[in-house]
Each structure stands twice: as C-alpha cells, then as structure tokens.
C-alpha cells in the first residue's frame, strides 16, 4: 500500500486572493482545510511554548502533520556541538503536537563542513533524545559523499532534496530511505520564483513512485510573493488520484 504524500508550504500564511480556501476560521484552520502538512519555520528563530504547539495541533484535522525546524541555537550558533540543553528544550516543546508531529528539519549553515566525529556525536545525542522522523538539510558540498550517506542511514536521518541545490547530488532526497523530503526554495530567484508545469509534472510522477517505499513530503519555501501556495496547490492536484 502506498505511503502518504504530504504537500504544503513553509508557514501557513497565504494570499487572500488565492481561491479554494474556506472563508471562516483562523489562518491555520483555513490552511489545514486544504493541505495535509505544513513546515513550521518560526521555531528556528524563537521558541514556542508547548501549549502553543498543543493549540496548533487541536486546530487541525486528525490526518494533518507538522514538520518543525530546529532552532538556530543548535545549528547556526552551537553548530551541532554542546547542544543537549537547547535540544532537550526544543524537543519537549514539539511534543505538544502529539501524534501530529511530523519530521524535524535540521537545516545547517552553508559554512558548516562535514566533520564525522562531531556529526556522529550530535546524531547519537539526538537519537537518545527522540525517535521523531528527522531530516537534515546541509548546505556545504562536503556533506554529499558516500560516508555521510552511510552515517545518516545508521541513525535513520534523511537528507533533504533541495532546489536550488548546492551540488547536483543535493537536488534529490537521500540518507535514510524511510522518508523522502523536498524543500523547494524557488530558482533561479530564491524565495521568489514560481514553478511551472514543466517542473511540477515530472516531480509529481517521481513522488507518486516514491510512495511505494516511504512517506513523501514536498514543502514550498518560495513564499515572498505568494508563489508557494499556488505551486503547492498545483502539485497537490497533480499527485491526487483521478476522480
């Protein structure tokens, strides 16, 4: 039986001019009436109380899932070293989502090179603290080599397939095969450019095929001018079963 396809945007703000959303309800309630997933990016910049996550979970349908971005304290300030205290706090907050917690996204700074010892120590601590699905988005070329793939698989951590990609290997999901996760930031203009049918149609076909092995996520982060919402709606239509 195929696994789920989950399509959404980074955050749940969307232009009111976009059709297809209910008129009533909070922004999250209106968003969740159309999409089955969202990526919380605000958690990267500031913590949210556990009761806030609980409220968000209560505002969405039973089959809705939240991906949550790990805080910059862990990734950009401490750079994966000595992270036990912020890691524990962040994961405890996220548990407010209950069964609606999807993957935790760990996005690394572009300057962070792969260091096998530091990464293995971080992932060991991470897996001691949580069994949550986890996806890593490194942005330095040193991360896209066979030893990294082997290490991530051993800790059941997936690799983001990103657009634009820092190297060709970064364009497709990798790491642990139990989760497929894409982040489309917009290209050539990051956060701005929309995706036309010539790019979305082959992507939809790949995602449908990938669901034979794993749950498949695609998050649109080209939010600056509202393209993320319309692109996500197009991809949702392309991956939905014919009536």
Give 174-213 pLDDT, tens digit per residue. 999 999 999 999 999 999 999 999 999 999 999 999 999 9
Secondary structure element (H or E) that encloses residue 197, with its range = helix 197-210
Tokens at residue 36, please?
A: 């089955």
Let me know the angle formed at the C-alpha of 47 by 125 and 8, rounded to the nearest 5 degrees: 90
Q: Which of 238, 163, 169, 237 is nearest to 205 (CA)?
A: 238
- The SS3 call for residue 236 is helix
Tokens at residue 72, please?
A: 């910059």
Block residue for tokens 């010892």: 117
pTM: 0.96
Tokens at residue 147, please?
A: 């030893």
- Between the alpha carbon of residue 110 and those of residues 63, 141, 185, 222, 239, the distances in Å are 34, 9, 15, 19, 32
Q: Does domain 5-239 have CATH number 1.10.357.10?
A: no
**By the 8 A CB rule, do 233 and 34 touch?**
yes
What are 25-72's pLDDT values in tens digits?
A: 999 999 999 999 999 999 999 999 999 999 999 999 999 999 999 999
Q: Quote the DSSP letter at residue 41.
A: -
The domain limits of the chain are 5-239
Residue 19: what pLDDT? 85
Over pLDDT 90: what percentage of the chain? 91
Tokens at residue 220, please?
A: 């649109």
């Amino acid at each position: 039986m195929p696994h789920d396809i989950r399509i959404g945007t980074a955050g749940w703000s969307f232009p009111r001019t976009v059709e297809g959303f209910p008129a009533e309800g909070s922004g999250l309630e209106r968003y969740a009436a159309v999409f089955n997933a969202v990526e919380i990016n605000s958690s990267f910049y500031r913590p949210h109380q556990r009761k806030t996550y609980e409220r968000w979970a209560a505002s969405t349908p039973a089959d809705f899932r939240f991906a949550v971005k790990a805080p910059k304290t862990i990734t950009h300030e401490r750079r994966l070293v000595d992270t036990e205290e912020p890691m524990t706090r962040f994961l405890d907050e996220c548990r407010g989502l209950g069964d609606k917690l999807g993957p935790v996204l760990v996005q690394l700074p572009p300057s962070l090179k792969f260091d096998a010892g530091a990464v293995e120590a971080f992932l060991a601590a991470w897996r001691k603290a949580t069994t949550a699905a986890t996806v890593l988005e490194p942005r330095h070329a040193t991360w896209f080599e066979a030893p990294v793939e082997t290490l991530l698989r051993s800790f059941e951590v997936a690799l983001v397939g990103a657009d634009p990609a820092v190297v060709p290997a970064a364009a497709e999901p990798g790491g642990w095969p139990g989760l497929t996760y894409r982040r489309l930031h917009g290209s050539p203009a990051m956060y701005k450019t929309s995706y036309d049918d010539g790019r979305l149609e082959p992507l939809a076909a790949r995602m449908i095929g990938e669901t034979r092995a794993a749950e498949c996520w695609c998050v649109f982060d080209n939010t600056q001018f509202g393209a993320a919402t319309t692109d996500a709606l197009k991809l949702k239509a392309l991956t939905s079963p014919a009536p």
